[in-house]
Amino acid sequence: MATIHAVGVGPGDPELLTRKAERVLRRADVILAPVSNPSEASVALGTIREFIDEDRQKIIIHQFPMTSDLTRLIPAWQEAAELIAGHAEAGREVAFITIGDPLFYSTFIYLLKILRERWPHLPVEIIPGISSINAAAAQAALPLVEAEEKMAVVPATAGIEQIAAALAHFETVVLLKVKPLYADILELLRQTGREGSTVFVERVGSPRQKILTDFAQISAHAPDYLSLLIVKKPLSP
């Protein structure tokens, strides 16, 4: 019986991996990399390629459909958990890799619940990773919160009403998964006077990274799935 490792590989820059993550990845016998579409490359796997030996290590690409349909998601989670548990019970060290952090809007959260329920005897180690939020703020040199300020993180898929409520009650609001509601979000930001205090960040830490601070450019851009908005409360006149 071996340990299951959930490894946060950060936002996409290999230099942002922790030393512990690199050590675990080099040692692992099996690496499971998630994808939402089998025709697309795994961002997490691309981030760690320089640290692994694909001749020695078994690399498994597992699809998790990009959907809210639980009839499709639950079987994918269960299949992945069974794969992981099977290798661990056979004595192979397993690393499930995920962009960002394993416990922050990550698919691994659902796998962890299944593993705890069905294979409670298997040890699980979670290696945290740098989130896209922290990486985006660093690249934009934008302080997230200070003193008594409060911050909310809202998946844009929660809806415009939830976003508006967050803007009304928090000094900083980070909006994730903005692509589906991008036009509606921008209109809300116009209505609330946030045009001058919004930063757009796309594919942070990757060669495709884009940072926009001009609201006209933000409005003209067609966002990638891996995009976020950091919205600050405007300074009082």
pLDDT in tens, 124-144: 999 999 999 999 999 999 999
Per-residue pLDDT averaged across 29-53, rounded? 91
> Which has more pLDDT, 8 or 42?
8
Of 67, 99, 127, the domain-final residue: 127
> Residue 82 and residue 8: Cα distance in Å, rounded?
20
pLDDT value for 37 = 78
pLDDT above 70: residue 236:
no
pLDDT, mean of residues 175-202? 96
Strands 124-127 and 30-35, bridge-based pairing: unpaired
Q: Out of 127, 148, 172, pick the residue that ends a domain.
A: 127
Single pTM value for the model: 0.90
237 in a domain, yes or no? no
CA dist 227 and 206 (Å) reads 12
Task: Examine residue 93 and state whether it is found in any structural domain, yes or no.
Answer: yes
- Separation between Cα atoms, residue 179 and residue 228, nearest integer Å: 9
Which residues, 6+ apart, have CB-to-CB distance to 216 below 8 Å?
none
Task: Identify the CATH number of the domain in which residue 93 sits.
Answer: 3.40.1010.10
In the predicted structure, residue 81 carries a pLDDT above the cut 90:
yes
Count CB atoms within 10 A of the CB of residue 181: 19
Residue 61 bridge partners (DSSP): 33
110 and 191 both lie in a single domain: no
Q: Look at residue 39 and tell me if it is in a domain.
A: yes
Tally Cβ neighbours within 10 Å of residue 15: 7
Q: What average pLDDT score do residues 201-219 get?
A: 94
- Per DSSP, the three-state class of 93 is coil
User: 83 and 46, same structural domain?
Assistant: yes
pLDDT value at 116 more than 80 = yes
Please check whether residue 140 is in contact with residue 202, taking contact to mean a CB–CB distance below 8 angstroms: no
Q: Mean pLDDT throughout 33-62?
A: 91
Does 38 score more than 80 pLDDT? no
Same domain for 69 and 158, yes or no, is: no
User: Does residue 237 carry a pLDDT above 70?
Assistant: no
Strand duo 4-8 + 124-127: pairing: parallel
Return the SS3 of 193: coil
Q: Are residues 119 and 143 located together in one domain of the fold?
A: no
Q: Quick one: pLDDT band at residue 61, thresholds 50, 70, 90?
A: very high
Tally of domains within the chain = 2
Domain boundaries, position 13: 4-127
CA distance 135 to 69: 30
Going by C-alpha positions, the residue among 210, 197, 149, 200 that lies closest to residue 175 is 200
What amino acid occupies position 215? Answer: F
